Amino acid sequence: MTTNNKQAGFSLIELLIVVAIIGIIAAIAIPNLLASRRAANEASAQSSVRTIHSSEASYAATVGNGGYATLAQLGTENLIDGRLAAALNAGTAKSGYFFLATPIAAATGAPANFVAGTVPADTAGVDKTGTRSFVTDAAGVIYSSTTLGAIPTDLAGVTGTAVGN
């Protein structure tokens, strides 16, 4: 009587090769995944700036008597969603961006205006949420900039490269 003690399975070397291949694939895929997330955050920020612009126009034509509003006022009038109206400080970023809308009163010879903009919430490291800031005014042209400082609160800050509108 003969006994076959044949065992089937993978050797340790084969398992290590599989783990190494998975590691190489992950090393290639993860940076692309993070870049895709940043691009999605930037697209969301541009869309939100467009929403703020159209909401400001609605506000000025209805309850604002030609004047513009802050994000909180736009949220109170239900012209923007609550998440966007609250995206002003470190605890309430929307899609990785902070937002600000600053009304500018009419002056002699100049109509009322506003400046609305956004900056990434996190600008460094692996977790950075964006690489560009965006700004617009009553004219409706959205400008992007790679200078990631504070959101502009006056018309002098409405500069950069025009985004394809």
pLDDT at site 40: 93
What is the largest distance, in Å, between two alpha-carbon atoms of the chain? 110
Residue 98: CB atoms within 10 A of its CB come to 21
Per domain, the residue ranges of the chain are 12-162
Mean pLDDT of 29-36: 88
Give yes or no for a contact between 75 and 84, defined as CB atoms under 8 angstroms apart: yes
Find which of 20-24, 81-85, 102-106, 122-126 is predicted with most confidence, using mean pLDDT.
Answer: 20-24
- Could you tell me the CA-to-CA distances from 44 to 8, 25, 84, 93 in Å, in that order? 53, 29, 11, 12
pLDDT at site 21: 95
The tally of CA atoms less than 13 A away on the side-chain side of residue 3 is 2
pLDDT digits (tens, 9 = 90+) for 100-153: 999 998 887 788 899 999 999 888 887 888 889 999 999 989 999 888 888 888
Residue with the two structure tokens 């002699």: 108
pLDDT at site 89: 59
Q: What percent of the chain clears pLDDT 90, i.e. is strictly above it? A: 36
